[in-house]
């Protein structure tokens, strides 16, 4: 077992799949990695779709991030309590897009 500055990296050394490596990074970061990854993806995808109307870009962005969040939840990087935020944003933006779009 390798212990660097208080972090247990034994599961990272034995990680043979991307899932085990990401889970180890998430564990060593105090379970912040999955949520922050989702936040960064949200910002990046919104910037990609900024060519379109802001409300449409926000609606598509929140839908894509919700799907990515479901994937991250499936591999154990985020919990349902984190996944509920992009889902609520998607529902609100979909209603707003139908109302004002």
**Res 21: pLDDT:** 83
**Res 23: pLDDT:** 87
Which tens digits make up the pLDDT trace of 22-46?
A: 888 898 888 999 999 999 999 999 9
Q: Residue 1: is its pLDDT beyond 50?
A: no
> Among 9-23, 26-40, 46-60, which is the least confidently predicted range?
9-23
Give the span between the Cα atoms of 78 and 82, in whole angstroms. 6
Q: What percent of the chain has pLDDT over 70?
A: 84
Q: What percent of the chain has pLDDT over 90?
A: 67
For β-strands 7-8 and 3-4, DSSP reports them as antiparallel
Give the span between the Cα atoms of 89 and 87, in whole angstroms. 5
Tell me the domain boundaries of the chain. 1-30, 31-100
Give the span between the Cα atoms of 12 and 20, in whole angstroms. 7
**Res 71: pLDDT:** 95
Is 57 within 8 Å of 13 (Cβ atoms)?
Answer: no
H or E stretch covering 82: helix 80-100
The whole-number average pLDDT for the span 55-78 is 95
Give the span between the Cα atoms of 7 and 4, in whole angstroms. 5
């Amino acid at each position: 077992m390798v212990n660097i500055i208080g972090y247990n990296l034994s599961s990272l050394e034995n990680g043979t799949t991307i899932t085990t490596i990401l889970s180890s990074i998430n564990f060593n970061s105090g379970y912040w990695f999955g949520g922050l990854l989702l936040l960064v993806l949200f910002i990046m995808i919104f910037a990609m779709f900024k060519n379109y109307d802001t409300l449409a870009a926000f609606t598509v962005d929140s839908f894509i991030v919700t799907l990515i969040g479901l994937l991250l939840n499936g591999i154990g990087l985020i919990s349902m309590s984190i996944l509920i935020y992009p889902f609520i944003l998607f529902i609100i933006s979909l209603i707003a897009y139908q109302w004002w779009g």
